Structure 1
Amino acid sequence: MKISASMKAAAIGGIALLALTSCASNEGGSGSGENGENGSSLTGTLNATGASSQDAAQQAWIASFQDTHSGVTINYQATGSGVGRDNFQGGGQAYIGSDRAFDDEEIAAGGFGSCVTDDIVEIPVYISPVAIIFNIEGVESLNLKPSVVADIFNGEITKWNDAAIAEDNDGVELPDLDISPVHRSDTSGTSEVFGTYLNAVAPDEWPHEPSDTWPVAEGESAQGTSGVVQTVTNGNGTIGYADASQAGTLGTVAVQVGEEFVSYSAEAAAQLVEASPLAEGRGAGDLVFEVDPAAAPAGSYPIALVSYLIACEQYEDANIAELVKEYFTFVASAEGQEVSAGAAGSAPLSETLRTQINGAIELIGSGAAE
């Protein structure tokens, strides 16, 4: 099942953030045009917004890239995927990160203000499990069936000692405590990934069409991945969903796949993605996976975030095209994937997928205006 089209964010608010630096790691790029000891002659600045799930990986990629390209500054603002996509369509973004690709309707409509043409490059370079996180004193892990997860987030199961939870958690002391679900308040690709999972594996309990806007009002809401994690951490009896790299010491859920319960891991998430086909009818540089959680093979983790870097094939500024191409090449490289695996626990790309991605990256700058 392909992730469905979603509502666009109401306002392009993230553009105003571009004047800010994203974090201390960005200060290493001088932007002065002077070559460092590494001999790189590249100079300039890239401004980008997008997925908060990618933030830890982006900052690690940026710091490593700027170590060897001292004349380059990259500013990445974790605004959320929806704002990132709106900003890319509105113009002014060198590239964006997004937890979903542009859908077929958006591609057909075109109008990507950051680009000379409507031809874009979308490459899946950050693959990570989405963890279901919770905060119950004394409980580190739980087994939950898909229907139970759906009923919790729908507000149908409201107590942690409910029989439906206890059934699969023998020996766990479950408290007579209210459940407080936490969801994203902003448009979020992570919400869409999690909603796609629920709709695919528990359609009766979760009939909501997948969307990057959370469909139910039950529980608490929080801005960004960090906001969800903070709200779950500060609560008692809270449960939420977040990129697994930010789960920290919170309790996590093993979800049912077939007859077994599978805990999240980068390797288990990679198994799901590797079993998924690429969407048909896309441009040569538009590599979009069709992930179906209901078809997850045994041993795989069925809630996998396939997060994209998105850029133009052609830019008005040939220097921007060269910088984006060089940065994307580093991110997709074995070294770049090791960097994000270490910083964020993501699943490194297979060599087969890397070959496809490098072919897409080669299209960046083809025909760029001089």
Structure 2
Amino acid sequence: MNRTVLSRRVFAGVAVAALALAGCSSKGDPGTDPSASAAGGLASITGELKASGASFPNTYYQEVILSLKDAAPNFKVTYNSIGSGAGKKEYGSGLVDFAGTDSTVKDTDGVPAGSYLYIPTVAAPITVAYNLKGVDKLQLSPVTLSKIFQRTVKTWNAPEIAADNPGVTLPATAISVAHRSDGSGTTSNFTKYLAAAAPDDWKLGSGDTVAWPADTQAGAKNTGVAQLVKAADGAIGYIDLSDAKDSGLPFAAIKNKDGQYVLPTLEGATAALAGAEVKDDLTFNPLNAAGAATYPITAPTYLLVKPKYDDPKKAELVKAFVKYVLTDGKAIAAEVNYAVLPTELQAKALAQLDKVS
């Protein structure tokens, strides 16, 4: 059974159970109880929403949308995975009702000030996936990682990589670096991590796009980077955990702030989330977090929603769907390799959503 079918069946069961409970009791305030179900309020909703943006959370959003067909058959939501940069531009131009982004809004994104609220949804590891014949376990420190992606280290048996991997026989294979071709929140978070963890070595800056060396390869969305890595022996790239697992690629253990090499897992991502400071606008940064168990390249993702919609019906639909993402959606997050928000942050996200009118 494939992942989509399995998770849809699991999620459908959760939604049906939630509907049954909603019919038996009116206790509980969904606005203050972060575990409260949204399914009961969706069953009678009719309408359509369009959204676009980040590919990093795309698997999760598509699974939630798929499950929505069972909970609310007359409520249609489409999410077009085009990257954070393009999604922000479409949102700013009024082409979509809400947008997904893994990076915060900048002046150059075309999103007017005051036209959006951040709603955090889930988080996940950004893996450093690779394709290297004969090597199924790899460790990389942030300094070595920065040198690989800047192309100052160009072969797999370089002294820097060997020092991170004592006892491992590394081939003299040339390294091929793959990165995103589109404006990407995954790129933003990966480069922000390198800037924080290897400040004396990382020279390319950070952002949705950076000036990668000319001898690197570019792929559209996380899936495009995965395809490039899978296609070439010696390739390496940064990819969200869900797409890296789907591609069957191995990924490196990354040396965290406490000096431990940690593989990308949901447990490591959850540990990173626990120590992240949340700003008043609900943006937060779990990158390079302290803690022996933390996976250091853990990234957040957000939905951009309007504080006020011209159409009251549209506001109702947006609030209903996003609440569903934050509540019932938790049931399938781990199944598709995403970490749920800490309870306190989830409650703040629901309170932020209540501001929408």
Interval containing the TM-score (normalised by the shorter chain): 0.7 to 0.9
Q: Structure 1 residue 106: deviation in Å?
A: 6.9
Tell me if the contact between 2:124 and 2:338 (Cα under 8 Å) persists in the aligned partners. Answer: yes
Say what the alpha-carbon RMSD is for the aligned residues: 2.4
Tell me if the contact between 1:44 and 1:71 (Cα under 8 Å) persists in the aligned partners. Answer: yes
Q: Structure 1 residue 276: deviation in Å?
A: 1.6
TM-score with structure 2 setting the length: 0.84
Partner SS state of residue 141, structure 1 = coil
Q: Structure 1 residue 120: deviation in Å?
A: 2.3
Partner in structure 1 of residue 188 of structure 2: 192
- Hey, what's the Cα distance between the residues in 2 that align with 1:58 and 1:239? 26
Q: Structure 1 residue 184: deviation in Å?
A: 0.5
Show CA shifts across 1:105-158 (max 9, x none): 579x9637xxxxx35221111200000000012222211111110110011111
TM-score with structure 1 setting the length: 0.81
| Correspondent of 2:75 among 48, 72, 76 | 72
Tell me if the contact between 2:273 and 2:341 (Cα under 8 Å) persists in the aligned partners. Answer: no
1:250 aligns with 2:249: yes
Partner in structure 1 of residue 310 of structure 2: 316
Partner SS state of residue 347, structure 2 = helix
- Hey, what's the Cα distance between the residues in 1 that align with 2:312 and 2:217? 46
1:165 aligns with 2:137: no
- Hey, what's the Cα distance between the residues in 2 that align with 1:264 and 1:287? 24
Q: Structure 1 residue 207: deviation in Å?
A: 2.3
Show CA shifts across 1:3-61 (max 9, x none): xxxxxxxxxxxxxxxxxxxx999xxxxxxxxxx99882211111111001111101101
- Hey, what's the Cα distance between the residues in 2 that align with 1:202 and 1:350? 28
Runs of 4+ deviating beyond 3 Å: 36-39
| Correspondent of 1:339 among 308, 332, 339 | 332
| Correspondent of 2:292 among 277, 295, 298 | 298
Partner SS state of residue 61, structure 1 = helix
**CA 1:110–1:259 in structure 2 vs 1: closer, same or farther (change >3 Å)?**
closer
Q: Which has the higher helix share?
A: 2
Q: Structure 1 residue 215: deviation in Å?
A: 2.4
Map of 1:39-50 to 2, 5 A cutoff? 40-50=43-53
| Correspondent of 1:97 among 95, 100, 113 | 100
- Hey, what's the Cα distance between the residues in 2 that align with 1:110 and 1:219? 31
**CA 1:83–1:58 in structure 2 vs 1: closer, same or farther (change >3 Å)?**
same
Partner in structure 1 of residue 85 of structure 2: 82
| Correspondent of 2:178 among 171, 175, 182 | 182
- Hey, what's the Cα distance between the residues in 1 that align with 2:344 and 2:279? 16
Partner in structure 2 of residue 11 of structure 1: none
Q: Structure 1 residue 270: deviation in Å?
A: 2.0
- Hey, what's the Cα distance between the residues in 2 that align with 1:110 and 1:176? 47
Unaligned runs of 5+ in 2: 8-18, 21-39
- Hey, what's the Cα distance between the residues in 2 that align with 1:129 and 1:355? 22
Tell me if the contact between 2:286 and 2:299 (Cα under 8 Å) persists in the aligned partners. Answer: no
